[in-house]
């Protein structure tokens, strides 16, 4: 892993693409705070990453982003897998190749519920996939001048609205000064979808937010349904816990307050408040005063506006 001076330097290089006047001393101070928070967050490494962008090898995604104006083709190699890592809701992958939204994924069959979960990971499956992604965490520089416009508000409005899109589109977003903290890549097969959560600052793959949930509880859905949900999840502005609860219910089906409290290690009151908030946003529906389930009708309507 790179040292913090190198990471800070690479981050500041990306901010050179931000709108003129937005990167002042105030913005750089916010960046340092954001990097301090990132450094002190718990990050488990599933794999190390190596990138080939437009045919050129890069050890750092941020360097590639700075040097390559556009993304024409991308190959990601997933190296040194952590065999003891928490792989639930992640798909062990050897290589992912992408061009214009389409690609080929070389993956392993993997059973996270088996004691011999890696025994079946000797054979590589190669399959055609559709590749999309979004920034699930990011930093946008804000100057003291911009901050002064919101001095009466408790929070500055979100300056960037992430959307599920081709990786070339995300590349353009970053080249406009959006610093990627977490990049989620979604690969869609004819029957399924799996995700990779990447940490571009340290060039590693990290566990999926639902990594502590048993994978056996996953409810398989059509690929198009996954894509619609991903487009909504990418764009909706919710607190992290609420967003994780929404994804948990979509992935695992209807649930109760007690189950959510148990799965996420929170009190029943906190679980219920988050669930009721999702109900008020019409992202969930309630059945028999006890069970909460995803509102596919609402997801479908929201997705139709985002595609």
**pLDDT tens, residue by residue, 211-241:** 988 877 888 899 999 999 999 999 999 999 9
- The span from the CA of 190 to the CA of 185, in Å, is 17
Q: Which of 181, 193, 202, 213 is nearest to 46 (CA)?
A: 202
| Residues of the chain above pLDDT 70, percent | 93
- From 1-15, 60-74, 174-188, the region with the lowest mean pLDDT: 1-15
Q: Given this model, what pLDDT does residue 263 score?
A: 94
Encoded tokens for 186: 């979604």
> Around 164, how many Cα atoms within 13 Å sit in the side-chain half-sphere?
24
Q: Is the pLDDT of residue 120 over 60?
A: no
The tokens 């290690």 sit on which residue? 265
Nearest to 80 by CA among 214, 203, 210, 212: 203
Residue 178: pLDDT band with limits 50, 70, 90: very high
Distance in angstroms (rounded) separating the CA atoms of residues 178 and 8: 14
Q: What is the CATH number of domain 219-307?
A: 1.10.10.10
What's the rounded Cα separation, in Å, for the pair 192 and 273?
A: 32
Give the pLDDT confidence of 30-56 residue by residue, as tens digits: 999 999 999 998 789 999 999 999 999
Q: How confident is the model at residue 110 (pLDDT cuts 50, 70, 90)?
A: low
pLDDT-based confidence at 287, cuts 50/70/90?
Answer: confident
Question: Is the per-residue pLDDT at 148 higher than 80?
Answer: yes
Please name the residue that has the structure tokens 């897998």.
Answer: 81
Domain residue spans of the chain:
4-207, 219-307
256-268 mean pLDDT: 95
For the cut 80, the answer to whether the pLDDT of residue 119 exceeds it is: no
Give the pLDDT of residue 187.
96
pLDDT at 176 over 90: yes
Buried b (16+ CB within 10 A) or exposed e, 67-85: ebeebeebbbbbeebeeeb
Confidence of residue 277 (pLDDT cuts 50, 70, 90): very high
pTM of the model: 0.92
**Has residue 166 got a pLDDT over 60?**
yes
80: alpha, beta or left? (left if phi > 0; alpha if psi -120 to 50)? left
Does 152 score more than 70 pLDDT? Answer: no
Q: How high is the pLDDT of residue 298?
A: 95
Task: Give percent of the chain above pLDDT 90.
Answer: 74
């Amino acid at each position: 892993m790179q040292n913090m001076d190198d990471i800070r330097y690479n981050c500041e290089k990306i901010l050179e693409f931000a709108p003129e006047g937005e990167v002042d001393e105030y913005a750089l101070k916010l960046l340092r705070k954001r990097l301090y928070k990132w450094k002190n967050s718990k990050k488990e490494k599933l794999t190390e990453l190596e990138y080939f962008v437009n045919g050129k090898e890069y050890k750092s995604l941020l360097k590639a982003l700075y040097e390559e104006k556009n993304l024409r083709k991308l190959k990601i190699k997933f190296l040194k897998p952590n065999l003891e890592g928490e792989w639930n809701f992640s798909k062990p992958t050897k290589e992912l190749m992408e061009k214009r939204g389409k690609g080929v994924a070389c993956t392993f069959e993997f059973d996270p519920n088996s004691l011999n979960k890696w025994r079946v990971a000797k054979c590589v499956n190669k399959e055609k996939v559709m590749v999309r992604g979004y920034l699930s965490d990011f930093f946008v520089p804000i100057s003291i001048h911009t901050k002064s416009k919101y001095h009466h508000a408790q929070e500055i409005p979100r300056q960037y609205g992430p959307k599920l899109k081709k990786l070339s589109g995300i590349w353009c977003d970053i080249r406009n000064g959006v610093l990627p903290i977490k990049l989620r890549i979604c690969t869609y097969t004819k029957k399924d979808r799996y995700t990779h959560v990447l940490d571009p600052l340290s060039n590693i793959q990290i566990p999926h937010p639902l990594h502590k949930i048993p994978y056996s509880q996953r409810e398989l859905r059509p690929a198009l349904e996954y894509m619609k949900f991903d487009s909504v999840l990418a764009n909706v502005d919710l607190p992290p816990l609420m967003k994780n609860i929404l994804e948990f219910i979509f992935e695992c089906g209807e649930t109760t307050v007690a189950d959510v409290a148990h799965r996420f290690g929170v009190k029943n009151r906190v679980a219920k408040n988050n669930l009721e908030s999702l109900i008020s946003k019409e992202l969930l529906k309630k059945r028999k005063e006890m069970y909460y389930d995803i509102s596919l009708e609402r997801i479908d309507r929201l997705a139709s506006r985002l595609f």
